[in-house]
Amino acid sequence: MTWRQCLVGFCRLRVATVGFSFLLALFCILSSMSVATDQSELVHSQWRPSELEGLSSLQKILASNRMTILTQNNANSYYIYREEKMGFEYDLAHAFAQRLGVSLHVQNPGWSDLIPDLLSGKGDFIAAGMTKTEDRQQKVDFSVPYMDVQQMVIVHKDRLDIRKQEDLSGMTVHVREHTSYKRRLRELQKQGLDITLKLHSNIPTEEFIRLVAQQNIPVTVADSNIAQLNRRYYPDIRIAFPVSEKQRLGWAVRKTDDELLQAINDFLLAAQEDGTYARIYQKYYANVAIFNYVDLKKFHERIDTRLPKYEAMIKKEAKKFGFDWRLISAVIYQESHFDPQATSYTGVRGLMQVTRDTAKEMGISNRLNPKQSIHAGVKYLSRMYARFEDIIPHTRRLRFALASYNIGYGHVRDAQRLAQKQDLDPDTWSALKKTLPLLRQPKYYTQTRYGYARGTEPVRYVQRIFSYYDILRQKADVPSTSTSSHPAQKHMVTK
């Protein structure tokens, strides 16, 4: 058997057995060879173009142990936060790479160059929230859809006169070139809508939304998922109305890549069934439709007016206990809106709303002292986090700890036991979102060790904290790379 035959055989076997262990596939190939070959040499060597010639794109991915996606650098697709890569498209592609047993690499050529770079071989496929349109289908093939979106008109909240399509007459709409937005707006122009299009090259949709929020441009168009996510960061925008029917997002491959397309389709369908897609979707888009303008506007204002007074204290305590300081800031805002004199009807007081017993346990004497309150609150949260050492990963574990901070450790454990009785996974936050609210009902809380609790509150509490945390992260770090001030931050999370 020749070296080339072995390589081709190895790749074909991996294509056929991507659901099995990579080592098993490799073992099968090596067993058929009369010469010994080192595994790492076979997998990780830099193959010459001539050695890969004739292989399909999927076979090349498997032979080189490397997958490259073409995507966008934005809050929806891909960005880096505190040296960690994330984004909805990135996480979904990463799950696909893990399924194949290969490493994932990213290229951000800019929107206009996504398809040209794919066709020239600079990436294996496009994962960038791209809608499936007729003109694009002439150039590339699309996967099965993984999300439905609608094109929405975005205006400033004060433009209450813009309620329907005809209200755009005489206005200039700013969008990016080579997008489905441009295509749809051209169609509306042909139908008689009197609008002017101002086209820009490689400006992210998020930037147009920011310009609308700051009243630098009057109107833009964005897909519904992008619009809802960015409304958190720019509460002064209004999502006015749709200008399209629902459209479907998919990954794009070269028209010759049938094998890769089939592997992608198999993965996306499996991800829907096994919960992988739901987990990633929940991470980025959970609760984006829930929007309270007054609350978010107030939060953005107090980031500027109140947070700076306590930022140094927060950073110091967060670093000491291994948390991201932005997360602690989100907790403080949820607890007290950065008001050191805050007192609730239950008697908890201060920035982190510490109880009298907790203050004593954490070794502080004055709950209204900002420094002492932050120290006690972060220390107590760290203790709650440590008590859930059986819960992984860190993001999930932190949700359990935050719920305990809000309602009490015993009630969270009660909710886990209820989940187990209902055949739900007690170590998942999705299960606790269902069982914590049951602690209000006698039918359920009489079965528990700690009894009645206002179980809907910790669910909302955790949701709001992660929404605030997400805003703080995006405000400071996207799309640029951020480096961690504390590399050993074991509690650092990504939403």
**67-146+249-285 with 151-244: one CATH topology?**
yes
Catalytic residue from among 259, 301, 335, 361: 335
d(CA 409, CA 425): 18
Architecture of domain 67-146+249-285: 3-Layer(aba) Sandwich (3.40)
pLDDT of 97: 97
Helix (H) or strand (E) holding 250: strand 247-254
According to DSSP, the residues that pair with 154 across neighbouring strands are 220, 239
pLDDT of 440: 85
Structure token pair of residue 312 = 């140094």
The contacts of residue 169 (CB under 8 Å, 6+ apart) are 193, 194, 195
pLDDT tens sequence across 346-380: 678 999 999 888 999 999 999 999 999 999 999 99
pLDDT of 117: 97
pLDDT tens sequence across 404-429: 999 999 999 999 999 999 999 999 99
pLDDT of 45: 44
- The residue extents of the domains of the chain are 3-64, 67-146+249-285, 151-244, 295-477
Instruction: Give the CATH number of domain 295-477.
Output: 1.10.530.10
Supply the DSSP symbol for 202: S
pLDDT of 121: 95
Claim: this prediction has a pTM higher than 0.85 = no
Give me the residues of the chain with pLDDT under 50, please: 1-4, 7-8, 17, 19-45, 82, 478-495
Nearest to 290 by CA among 431, 464, 454: 464
User: Looking at this protein, which amino acid is placed at residue 212?
Assistant: V
43-68: b (≥16 Cβ within 10 Å) or e: beeeeeeeebeebbbbbbbbbbbbbb
pLDDT of 264: 98
Between strands 247-254 and 125-131, the pairing is antiparallel
DSSP letter string over 33-87? -SS---HHHHHHS---HHHHTT--HHHHHHHHTEEEEE---BTTTBEEETTEEE-
Say which residue the tokens 């480096």 belong to.
Answer: 483
Supply the DSSP symbol for 166: G
CATH superfamily of 151-244: Periplasmic binding protein-like II (3.40.190.10)
The contacts of residue 128 (CB under 8 Å, 6+ apart) are 70, 71, 72, 77, 89, 111, 114
d(CA 349, CA 356): 8
Cα dihedral 123→126→128→133 (10° resolution): 150
Give SS3 for 428: coil
Supply the DSSP symbol for 266: H
Mark whether 53 is an active-site residue.
no
